[in-house]
Amino acid sequence: MNFEFSEEQHLLRDQARAFLAEFCPTDTVRAVLDSDNEWDRGLWQRVAEMGWTATVIPEAYGGLGLSHYELAILAEEMGRSVAPLPFSSSVYLASEAIVAFGSEGQKAEWLPKLASGECVGTVAMWERPGALTLEQLATRRLGDSISGVKSPVPDAGVADVVVVLAHSEAGLEACLVPMDQAGVQQQSVMTLDASRGHSTLTFDHAQAEVLGHSTIEQCAWERLIDGAAVMFAWEQLGIAESALIQARDYALQRFAFGRAIGSYQAIKHKLAAMYVKNTLARSNAYYGVWALAENSADLPLAAATARVAGIQAAAFAAEENIQTHGGMGFTWEFDCHFYYRRAKLLSLVIGSEAVWQDRLVSGLTHQPATAA
């Protein structure tokens, strides 16, 4: 039985945690939240110099060719530090989509730039409220042009290339659309987490290339989203851990009625419940990353389990961290809201809790899953 990260992987975690503690303290998050910026460009450059954006991109395309175990470790630390970066959009989604579906030429063109961090990518899926139904996408590709409206698109304001989910007469496609062109209009939209930028993208006969020059099967898209779900689960776990630590520290120092509030069972049981959910989320995230890294047939179930556990742990810890802080937790000045915002944001980004609970049960009963 070896259900644990390797020594080298543990070292990577230590290194990432120390790096982000130095270069991404919560002041960094606050600075982005307080400004019109959609990211911290300087931090992105540092992260790229560390090679993190290149982690799972194959060496042939300028990447490090490491495994998803390494990426999972980085994802957890991204969550722990609530980093104001387009890491998930560019690394778990856009880069992975190009690796999975791109032609040789498309990989050679885009992956080295995504690996180096010189380019930022994102994926545009959502068009309207409600769960995403792949059959009902309105965005259309005809010839080499694409038209439609996608919203919200995370990190589109800082992206160089967007992978747009669309339909042509042939079927479902993932289209590569460079941002720097007249046919793409980007309009920033406010979301509940302004430490990450979001946009409405309007494509009006924008120039587009179909990834891999062919349609993609729905199950292939779901495979990509399953992989992203595992990474988001690790990021959500990082958020949950930070929120628990913040709540614990506050409960130790805040006194009421002559004693630390952490000595009251009402608070202790709340924090113990956080620990329980975080532990379940971590163990499920372990299995998720194992299934992803080893390309197991269990991936759909493992990813859904990790995703649901991650959503629940992050939301609970973030919500109850504020509650533990009382009125101070409701202020802009305290950092509690960073976790609350990011936890909710990440729970919505690739399909929300009910969608993944449904996929989980489909995984258990071996029915074909519905889309994200």
Q: Where does this chain touch another protein (CB under 8 A) — which range of 130-138, 142-150, 191-199, 301-309?
A: 301-309
Write out the binding residues for another protein, residues 211-250 only, by CB under 8 A. Answer: 244, 248
Q: Please check whether residue 86 is in contact with residue 48, taking contact to mean a CB–CB distance below 8 angstroms.
A: no
What is the full DSSP assignment across 111-153? HHHHHHTSS-EEEE---SSSS--GGG---EEETTEEEEEEEEE
**Per-residue contact track with another protein, 62 to 101, x per CB under 8 A?**
-------x--------------------------------
Phi, psi angle pair for 241, to nearest 5°: -65, -45
- Rule CB under 8 A: say whether 192 interacts with another protein: no
- Rule CB under 8 A: say whether 295 interacts with another protein: no
With left for phi above 0 and alpha for psi between -120 and 50, is residue 51 left, alpha or beta?
left
Identify the residue among 62, 262, 329, 351 touching another protein (CB under 8 A). Answer: 262
Write out the binding residues for another protein, residues 4-33 only, by CB under 8 A. Answer: 4-5
Helices 218-253 and 265-293 cross at an angle (nearest 10°) of 150
- Rule CB under 8 A: say whether 253 interacts with another protein: no
Closest distance between another protein and the C-beta of residue 273, in Å? 7
Identify the residue among 293, 299, 336, 371 touching another protein (CB under 8 A). Answer: 293
Spatial CA neighbour of 267 closest among 313, 319, 312, 320: 320
Closest distance between another protein and the C-beta of residue 97, in Å? 25
Closest distance between another protein and the C-beta of residue 319, in Å? 17
- Rule CB under 8 A: say whether 364 interacts with another protein: yes
The C-alpha angle with vertex 50 and arms to 31 and 240, in degrees rounded to 5, equals 55
Q: Residue 55 or 312: which CB sits closer to another protein? A: 312
DSSP state of 97: H
Q: Please check whether residue 67 is in contact with residue 5, taking contact to mean a CB–CB distance below 8 angstroms.
A: no
Q: Residue 277 or 341: which CB sits closer to another protein? A: 277
Q: Cα separations (Å) of 273 from 130, 178, 206, 244, 247?
A: 31, 46, 50, 10, 12
Q: Residue 75 or 166: which CB sits closer to another protein? A: 75
Q: Please check whether residue 166 is in contact with residue 124, taking contact to mean a CB–CB distance below 8 angstroms.
A: no
- Rule CB under 8 A: say whether 339 interacts with another protein: no
Phi, psi angle pair for 167, to nearest 5°: -115, 145
Name residue 147's beta-bridge partners. 140
Q: Where does this chain touch another protein (CB under 8 A) — which range of 112-120, 141-149, 166-174, 358-366?
A: 358-366
Cα dihedral 69, 74, 78, 84 in deg (nearest 10) = -120
Identify the residue among 268, 295, 323, 328 touching another protein (CB under 8 A). Answer: 268
Q: Cα separations (Å) of 121 from 110, 291, 344?
A: 9, 25, 22
Closest distance between another protein and the C-beta of residue 189, in Å? 30
Closest distance between another protein and the C-beta of residue 218, in Å? 20
- Read off the tokens for 222: 């779901």
Closest distance between another protein and the C-beta of residue 308, in Å? 5
Identify the residue among 267, 317, 318, 345 touching another protein (CB under 8 A). Answer: 267
Q: Residue 89 or 312: which CB sits closer to another protein? A: 312
- Rule CB under 8 A: say whether 256 interacts with another protein: no
Identify the residue among 92, 286, 338, 340 touching another protein (CB under 8 A). Answer: 286
Spatial CA neighbour of 79 closest among 97, 92, 94: 92
- Rule CB under 8 A: say whether 283 interacts with another protein: yes
Q: Please check whether residue 81 is in contact with residue 241, taking contact to mean a CB–CB distance below 8 angstroms.
A: no
Provide the CA 289 distance to its chain's centre, in angstroms.
Answer: 14
Q: Residue 203 or 316: which CB sits closer to another protein? A: 316
Binding residues for another protein, per CB under 8 A? Answer: 1-5, 69, 244, 248, 251-252, 259-260, 262-265, 267-269, 271-273, 275-276, 279-284, 286-287, 289-290, 293-294, 304-305, 308-309, 312, 354, 356-358, 360-361, 364-365
